[in-house]
Chains A and B, each alone.
Chain A
Amino acid sequence: MSLAIIEKEGLHLFVAELLRQKNTVVGVKDQSAVSSIPGDSGFYTYAPINSPGEMTLSFDVTLIPPKKYLLPAYEQLLTFNLSPGSIKADAPKEELIIFGVHPYDIIAINQMDKVFSAIPQDNHYLERRKRTTIIGIDPVKVAPRAFWSSMGADTVAGGFDLMLTDIGQCYVVDVGSKKGASLLKTAPRTREAAPAEVKERDKVRAEARKRCDANRLSFSYLELPSLLDGNEEHVIWEEKSHLCFSCGTCNLVCPTCYCFDVRDDVSIDLKKGSRYRTWDGCLLSDFARVAGGGNFRGHRADRYRHRFYRKGQFIYRRFGDIACVGCGRCSAQCPSDIADPVTVFNRLKEGI
């Protein structure tokens, strides 16, 4: 499919049209613009927007990935009523457009799609996914801890409905689905991209990649599964995990972490209630604790190691994907700065 162009002034009109058509449009907001805390450097966040002007597309990375809309931090699965003895599953009904998703986050969503589609399917996730339109945007700014260029996540071939690249005077648009194609028809001032504009897109992408290369793995990310083989007893796990608070922040902000807990809520009359799932994290001390009190990952170092193996090897062995996309959120948000995959993996590679 050939690439399209949306003129800059056309984009606001396009977003206005999306807001008119669909239930919810989520875009990236710059929280530093609204922070009342003096000296707050702020952060970017995905949030519902009411007008095109609320949204920024030149963000480096958001604090929390867009997974929060596909696997909500709190998602009701069932409701029950014990009096008549009935129980029913809840289904998401809302149509959603997420506007402005970077390629690395789309790759993470593609991984979640694979996990939740694996038999037995998780229809709650799949239903929500089906109702979600993803409009991607190539990053121009690079977050200080990002290393997506060395995780093969600087561009993405699929998993989006539309993918935009800001080439200065306009956006080059790649259409990734029929849904994307029909949405694009509603955008004013579109046209086919000229070869020079396509070249410009490649240049913009290459420049961003180069900036991201400032922070990189010293080897190909495809070596990760074999690099981790035999490194289970490496001193780094014990050494770094001494500083781990077991707070689970790295899990919360990770776009490829999808583990959850299941809990019940009950009304005050003890008759009605709901079952919901909520994010959980393998760095939390009770994550692998069983009812009898045994804890199969009771040591901090074991939990810390598990996370890196899960990213670099376990998910690869199961689903064929490296479960780290180089967004750098974990390293940026870890209170004691021990979560950086670049530091850990490069150290393993050095063999010291």
Chain B
Amino acid sequence: MGSPSPYLPGLATIMKIEEQTAMEKLFMVRPNDGKPLGHKPGQFVEVSVFGVGECPISVSSAPNKKTDFEICVRRAGNVTNALHNLKAGDVIGIRGPYGTHFPFEDLKGKDLLFVAGGLGIVPLRSFINYALERRRDYGRIIILFGARTPADRLFKAEIASLARRPDLEYLETVDVGDASWKGNVGVITTLFPKFTIDPKKTYAIMVGPPVMYRFAIAAARAKGLADDHIIVSLERKMKCGLGKCGHCQMGPVYVCQEGPVFNFAAIKNLEEALS
């Protein structure tokens, strides 16, 4: 081919695998060419398990100068199941990074309200850690985290240390508690009455399952947040990541190109965006 194939992944090696829950594992990945991925918080990569296929996965680590990066993968389909069966030292393929990112530069000096529902913590972690590494660049940081059950909570150790930090406010909930759970029980919106914000300075950055957005956006609006102060990241099937295959099409928008990170004001009238 005269020009390079946009579908050709780079080879990368799994350096470390950390079990998170029964369904999720965290993979540390190193590109074989030794070059850093160069991603921005909120972007995704197409991950290949050769012979099985490819799927889009959010990068979960904050951008840094190291070549390693992290992806947290739920066992949900053929490729993710195959990924779960791999071990450190195995080789996978990586294309990307693709897509838009959280507006981490535009939000400097603002208060950040992170709203993470379940697996939504995975892409948000990239921004949260980025912001915490540059803590003075941002105003208040409030993190809301909701999981289905205590056992489904991702990044437990990391979150425990976050929760202890004096320079952020951390609130969490589970839909269904158990004997060990002493915290809040209920959907993520039950956390909203527990804090106040300055809506002029605050931006909500939310990632979660489709059903969460409708309610979390309503709760954020009730706090006085304008629609353009709400940032969301949308999950879609993305086979190519290049705006060609059509799977992630949402009206005239391709989520893999104009998203996955969107300002809510820009997509609120798009049919199918948040349904």
Tell me if A302 and B272 are in contact (CB < 8 A): yes
Tell me if A118 and B236 are in contact (CB < 8 A): no
Contact residues on A (Cβ < 8 Å of other chain), bracket: 35 or more
Which residues between 267 and 295 of chain A lie within 8 Å of chain B, taking CB atoms?
270, 273, 275, 277, 280, 282, 287-294
Name, among A77, A78, A296, the residue most crowded by chain B CB atoms within 10 Å (CB to CB).
Answer: A296
B252 within 8 A of A: yes
> Are A123 and B1 also in contact (CB < 8 A) when A273-B51, A292-B235, A296-B272 are?
yes
> Residues of A contacting B4 with CB < 8 Å?
89, 123
B156 within 8 A of A: no
A206 within 8 A of B: no
How far apart are A278's CB and chain B's nearest CB, in angstroms?
Answer: 10
> Are A123 and B245 also in contact (CB < 8 A) when A87-B11, A288-B237, A296-B272 are?
no
Tell me if A294 and B252 are in contact (CB < 8 A): no
B222 within 8 A of A: no
> Are A124 and B251 also in contact (CB < 8 A) when A259-B245, A262-B245 are?
no
How far apart are A157's CB and chain B's nearest CB, in angstroms?
Answer: 25
How far apart are A125's CB and chain B's nearest CB, in angstroms?
Answer: 8
CA A289 – CA B8 in complex, angstroms? 25
A69 within 8 A of B: no
- Which of A258, A273, A296, A318 has a CB less than 8 Å from the CB of B236? A296
CA A64 – CA B25 in complex, angstroms? 45
CA A266 – CA B53 in complex, angstroms? 10
Tell me if A294 and B235 are in contact (CB < 8 A): yes
> Are A273 and B5 also in contact (CB < 8 A) when A262-B239, A280-B247, A296-B272 are?
no
CA A263 – CA B90 in complex, angstroms? 21
Name, among A259, A282, A289, the residue most crowded by chain B CB atoms within 10 Å (CB to CB).
Answer: A259
Tell me if A89 and B239 are in contact (CB < 8 A): no
> Residues of B contacting A280 with CB < 8 Å?
239, 245-247
Query: Which residue in chain A gives the minimum CB-CB distance to B275?
Result: A296
CA A260 – CA B9 in complex, angstroms? 18
Which residues between 92 and 139 of chain A lie within 8 Å of chain B, taking CB atoms?
115-116, 118, 120-124, 126-127
Among the listed stretches B59-67, B74-82, B175-183, which one makes contact with chain A, having 4 or more residues with CB under 8 Å of it?
Answer: B74-82
Tell me if A290 and B7 are in contact (CB < 8 A): no
Among the listed stretches A20-28, A170-178, A307-315, which one makes contact with chain B, having 4 or more residues with CB under 8 Å of it?
Answer: A307-315
CA A122 – CA B48 in complex, angstroms? 19
B243 within 8 A of A: yes
CA A80 – CA B92 in complex, angstroms? 11
A261 within 8 A of B: yes
> Are A87 and B235 also in contact (CB < 8 A) when A122-B242, A262-B53, A280-B246 are?
no
> Residues of A contacting B1 with CB < 8 Å?
89-91, 123-124, 127
CA A37 – CA B53 in complex, angstroms? 41
B244 within 8 A of A: yes
* Secondary structure call for the B interface: loop
Query: Which residue in chain B gives the minimum CB-CB distance to A91?
Result: B1
Query: Which residue in chain B gives the minimum CB-CB distance to A288?
Result: B237
> Residues of B contacting A262 with CB < 8 Å?
7, 53-54, 239-240, 245
0/1 per residue, B232-268, Cβ < 8 Å to A? 0001110110111111011110100000000000000
- Which of B93, B239, B246, B252 has a CB less than 8 Å from the CB of A258? B246
0/1 per residue, A247-271, Cβ < 8 Å to B? 0000000000011111110100010
Which residues between 214 and 238 of chain A lie within 8 Å of chain B, taking CB atoms?
232
Tell me if B7 and A289 are in contact (CB < 8 A): no
- Which of A259, A270, A294 has a CB less than 8 Å from the CB of B210? A294
CA A80 – CA B254 in complex, angstroms? 29
> Are A87 and B8 also in contact (CB < 8 A) when A288-B237, A296-B275 are?
yes
Tell me if A121 and B6 are in contact (CB < 8 A): yes
Tell me if A87 and B272 are in contact (CB < 8 A): no
> Residues of A contacting B52 with CB < 8 Å?
264, 266
CA A291 – CA B75 in complex, angstroms? 9
0/1 per residue, B193-214, Cβ < 8 Å to A? 0000000000000000110000
> Are A260 and B7 also in contact (CB < 8 A) when A115-B244, A116-B244, A232-B271 are?
no
> Residues of B contacting A191 with CB < 8 Å?
none
0/1 per residue, A44-86, Cβ < 8 Å to B? 0000000000000000000000000000000001101010010
B85 within 8 A of A: no
Tell me if B11 and A292 are in contact (CB < 8 A): no
Tell me if A292 and B209 are in contact (CB < 8 A): yes
Tell me if B239 and A261 are in contact (CB < 8 A): yes
CA A275 – CA B240 in complex, angstroms? 12
CA A294 – CA B239 in complex, angstroms? 16
CA A287 – CA B237 in complex, angstroms? 8
Tell me if A260 and B245 are in contact (CB < 8 A): yes
Name, among B4, B91, B237, B242, the residue most crowded by chain A CB atoms within 10 Å (CB to CB).
Answer: B237
Tell me if B9 and A87 are in contact (CB < 8 A): yes
How far apart are B99's CB and chain A's nearest CB, in angstroms?
Answer: 12
Name, among A88, A123, A293, A313, the residue most crowded by chain B CB atoms within 10 Å (CB to CB).
Answer: A123
Tell me if B91 and A259 are in contact (CB < 8 A): no
Name, among A82, A264, A293, the residue most crowded by chain B CB atoms within 10 Å (CB to CB).
Answer: A264
> Are A314 and B2 also in contact (CB < 8 A) when A77-B7, A80-B50 are?
no
A211 within 8 A of B: no
- Which of A118, A124, A258, A294 has a CB less than 8 Å from the CB of B209? A294
Tell me if A309 and B251 are in contact (CB < 8 A): yes
Query: Which residue in chain A gives the minimum CB-CB distance to B9?
Result: A87
11 contacts between A and B (CB under 8 A): A80-B51, A90-B5, A122-B6, A259-B247, A262-B53, A280-B247, A292-B76, A297-B272, A306-B249, A314-B251, A314-B252
| A-B residue pairs, 8 tightest by C-beta | A259-B246, A89-B5, A91-B1, A317-B252, A266-B51, A291-B76, A291-B77, A123-B3
